[in-house]
Amino acid sequence: MNNLLIVLGVLGGLLAGAYGVAALQRLLDLGPRRVGTALVLPLTTAFSLLRQTDLTPRAADGWLFHSAPLVALTTAALAALVIPLGPDLLGFDPAIGLFYFVIVFGPFIVAVMNAGWGQNSKAGLFGTFRAAAHLLAYEVPFGFAVIGPVMAAGSLQVSRVVVAQSGLWYAVWQPLGLALYLVSALFLTFRHPFDIPQAGSELGGGVLGEYSGPRLLLFRLALDGLFGVVMAMGVVLFFGGWQGPWLPPAVWMVLKTGALAAAVLWATRFVPRLRQDQMLSLAWKVLLPAALLNVALVGILALVILGGTP
């Protein structure tokens, strides 16, 4: 019974997060901003997709094509499992929680690759290659960005990382780690500057090009929900998680996550979409050295600030 509640809670949280991200995206779109439209449009889009015909391309690899959205959504839900909304609102708090969080995205990339490969089209195939390159590009900086808070907190457990920030947010003295984390998170969730596997106008949708109807809805839910999950983990890692005065912990968590997501979505509006080579250059030539530098800096600062005893 308890497990069932956890599953339902995680799925509900994922759906709510996906809705929130989609609404934020609408709200931050260029043009006249109408709050009512932004709040309603994700719902109407979802309903229209539910009513749309679910098409399968000819000669598609049906098994991969049909399973990919489910795998993506499952992976997003598995990642959401370790997001704490409060000291007691935590689905799964293993001792290796952050490690689990980093590696659970591997199958997500596999789902995206399957989506591109299974549809048996050139655009999808190129999207698959780009998604695989994404994996190689983001994985190392993402892991190194997470290592900073882990070093400072001295634990891989999510709840202990939050508790360790009761005095000072890690965002204050690990700004480089925060920047690395946010850029890698955009990589990971195929968000705007790094959304070249989808690449709307260039690849005709890329890996999602042949999806329609409920399966497209599932994929969008997974992508938006995963962005919400990654932003929530950013709050956990760098902004003190659920901690805050006066308000209940869950409210703080939601508010911080929404603010961080809005800031990231707003900032990415001013960046053009990166080409594949630019993206890879950024990942390997900038992010990776910066991540190594960040680890060294955090080690030194942890010695200075915490005196070597986290």
Partner 1 sequence: MNEFIAWALVAALGGIAVWAAAGMLVTMSMYRAGLALMTSFIALAGLFVLLDADLLAAIQVMMNVGGMMVMMLFMVMFMLDPGGEMMWDMKRKMHLPGPGAFSMSMPPPLPPDAQAPAPRPAAPAPAAHSWTCPMHPEIRRDGPGQCPLCGMDLVPAEADAPPVTAPATVAVYTCPMHPEIRRDQPGPCPLCGMDLVPAATDTAATGTVYTCPMHPEIRRDGPGPCPLCGMDLVPAEAAAPPATAPATGTVYTCPMHPEIRRDGPGQCPLCGMDLVPVEVEAAPETPPATGTIYTCPMHPEIRRDGLGQCPLCGMDLVPAEADVPPASGKDTGAHSTHAMAKPTGRTAVAYTGHAAATGHTGLTPRQNYVMMVDMAMSTAQLPWALVLGAASALALGLLVWITPWPLATIAPPGDATSAVGELLLSRYMIGFEGAAFLILAGIVGAVIFGLPVARPSAPPSVAPPPAQAVPIPATAGAGAVYTCPMHPEIRRDGPGQCPLCGMDLVPAEAAPAPATARTTATVYTCPMHPEIRRDDPGQCPICGMDLVPEEATPPAAVVADPPNHGGHL
Q: Which stretch binds partner 1 (CB under 8 A): 46-54, 105-113, 206-214, 246-254?
A: 105-113
CB 18 within 8 A of CB 49: no
Shortest distance in whole angstroms from residue 149 CB to partner 1: 18
Shortest distance in whole angstroms from residue 156 CB to partner 1: 9
Q: How far apart are CA 94 and CA 258, in angstroms?
A: 26
Shortest distance in whole angstroms from residue 67 CB to partner 1: 10
Output the CA angle 258-264-266, nearest 5 degrees.
95
Q: Which stretch binds partner 1 (CB under 8 A): 128-136, 164-172, 221-229, 266-274?
A: 128-136
Q: How far apart are CA 107 and CA 137, in angstroms?
A: 16
**Residues in 218-257 that interact with partner 1 by CB under 8 A:** none
Shortest distance in whole angstroms from residue 276 CB to partner 1: 14
Half-sphere exposure of 63 (CA within 13 A, CB side): 0
CB atoms near residue 201 (< 10 Å) = 7
Q: Which stretch binds partner 1 (CB under 8 A): 30-38, 98-106, 188-196, 276-284?
A: 98-106
Q: Is 114 in the site for partner 1 (CB under 8 A)?
A: yes
Compose the 134-163 pattern: x for residues touching partner 1 by CB under 8 A, - for all others.
Answer: -xx--x------------------------
User: Binding partner 1 by CB under 8 A: which of 100, 160, 273, 297?
Assistant: 100
Euclidean distance between the first and the last CA atom of the chain, given in angstroms as a whole number: 37
**Residues in 7-66 that interact with partner 1 by CB under 8 A:** 59, 61, 64
User: Binding partner 1 by CB under 8 A: which of 62, 87, 94, 289?
Assistant: 94
Alpha helices in the chain (DSSP H): 2-28, 35-51, 62-80, 97-103, 106-118, 122-153, 158-163, 170-173, 175-188, 213-238, 249-268, 276-281, 288-306
CB 263 within 8 A of CB 231: no
Q: Which is nearer to partner 1, 118 or 225 (CB)?
A: 118
Shortest distance in whole angstroms from residue 73 CB to partner 1: 17
Output the CA angle 89-104-98, nearest 5 degrees.
55
Q: Is 288 in the site for partner 1 (CB under 8 A)?
A: no
CB 169 within 8 A of CB 297: no
Q: Is 107 in the site for partner 1 (CB under 8 A)?
A: yes
Q: Is 103 in the site for partner 1 (CB under 8 A)?
A: yes
CB 191 within 8 A of CB 21: no
Shortest distance in whole angstroms from residue 61 CB to partner 1: 8
Q: What is the dihedral of CA 215, 117, 132, 260, to 10 degrees?
A: -10
What is the DSSP-derived secondary structure letter of residue 194? G
Q: Is 129 in the site for partner 1 (CB under 8 A)?
A: yes
Q: Which is nearer to partner 1, 92 or 173 (CB)?
A: 92
Q: Which is nearer to partner 1, 49 or 110 (CB)?
A: 110
Binding site residues, partner 1, CB under 8 A: 59, 61, 64, 94-96, 99-100, 102-104, 106-107, 109-110, 113-114, 117, 120, 122, 125-126, 129, 132-133, 135-136, 139
